[in-house]
A and B are shown apart, each in its own frame.
Chain A
Amino acid sequence: MSALQTVKFYQTGTFTVGNRLLAPEDRSVQANMQRTNSLNSGHRACQGCGEALGARYAIDAAMNATNRQLIAANATGCLEVFSTPYPETSWQIPWIHSLFGNTAAVATGIAAAIKVKKQKGQGQDVRVVAQGGDGGTTDIGFGCLSGMFERNDDVLYICYDNGGYMNTGVQRSSATPSAARTATTMPLGPEPGNPFGQGKFVPAIAMAHEIPYVATATVADLRDLENKVTKAMGMRGARYIHILVPCPLGWGTASQDTIRMARLAKETGVFPVFEAEYGELTSALAIRRPLPVEDYLKPQKRFAHLFGKNPAVETIARIQAQADKNIRRYGLLAKETV
Chain B
Amino acid sequence: MDKPFAITLNPGSSLANHTGSWRTARPVYLDRLPPCNNQCPAGEDIQGWLFHAESGSYEAAWRHLTRDNPFAAIMGRVCYHTCESACNRGKIDEAVGINSVERFLGDEAIKRGWKFAAPTQESGKKVLIVGAGPSGMSAAYHLRKLGHAVTVMDAGPYMGGMMRFGIPKYRLPREVLDAEMQRIVDMGVTVKLNSKVDSILDTMKAGGFDAAFLAVGAHIGKRAMIPSGDAAKIVDAISVLRSMEGEDKPLLGRRVVVYGGGNTAIDVARTVKRMGAEPIIVYRRTRDKAPAHDFEIEEALQEGVMVKWLSTIKQAGDKEITIEKMALDDKGFPQPTGEFETLEADSVVLALGQDVDLGLLNGVPGLEVTKDGVVKVGTDLMTGHPGIFAGGDMVPADRNVTVAVGHGKKAARNIDAWLRGETYAAPPKHEVARFEKLNPWYYADAPKTVRPMLDIIRRQSTFEEVQGGLDESTALFEARRCLSCGNCFECDNCYGVCPDNAVIKLGPGKRFQFNYDYCKGCGMCVAECPCGAIKMEAEDI
Contact = CB atoms under 8 A, between A and B. Distances in A.
A87 interface: yes
Interface string B450-488: 000000000000000000000000000100111010000
B4 to A, nearest CB: 12
A88 B22 CA distance: 18
Interface stretch (B170-178, B308-316, B373-381, B502-510): B502-510
A89 B12 CA distance: 6
Contact of B496 (A30, A40, A47): A30
A27 interface: yes
Query: Which of B9, B55, B522: most chain A Cβ within 10 A?
Result: B522
A42 B9 contact: no
B295 interface: no
Query: Which of A37, A256, A259: most chain B Cβ within 10 A?
Result: A256
Majority-rule SS of A interface residues: loop
A255 B520 CA distance: 10
A73 interface: no
Interface stretch (B13-21, B223-231, B266-274, B319-327): B13-21
Given A20-B489, A40-B501, A41-B19, A260 B496 contact: no
A10 B480 contact: yes
Interface in B491-539: 491-493, 495-502, 505, 507-508, 515, 517-518, 520-524, 526-528, 530
Contact of A338 (B9, B13, B446, B496): B446
Interface residues of B, number: 53
A21 to B, nearest CB: 6
A317 interface: no
A17 B520 CA distance: 21
Contact of A52 (B499, B515, B521): B499
A33 B522 contact: no
B444 interface: yes
A16 B530 contact: yes
A20 B55 contact: yes
Contacts of B505: 33
Contact of B444 (A13, A17, A222): A13
B5 interface: no
Interface of A: 5, 8-13, 15-21, 27-28, 30-31, 33, 37, 39-45, 47-50, 52-53, 56, 83, 86-90, 222, 248, 254-260, 263, 336, 338
Interface of B: 9-19, 22, 54-55, 441-446, 477, 480-482, 484, 489-493, 495-502, 505, 507-508, 515, 517-518, 520-524, 526-528, 530
Given A41-B518, A88-B11, 13 more contacts: A11-B482, A28-B496, A41-B19, A42-B16, A48-B499, A53-B524, A56-B499, A88-B14, A88-B17, A89-B11, A222-B496, A259-B497, A338-B444
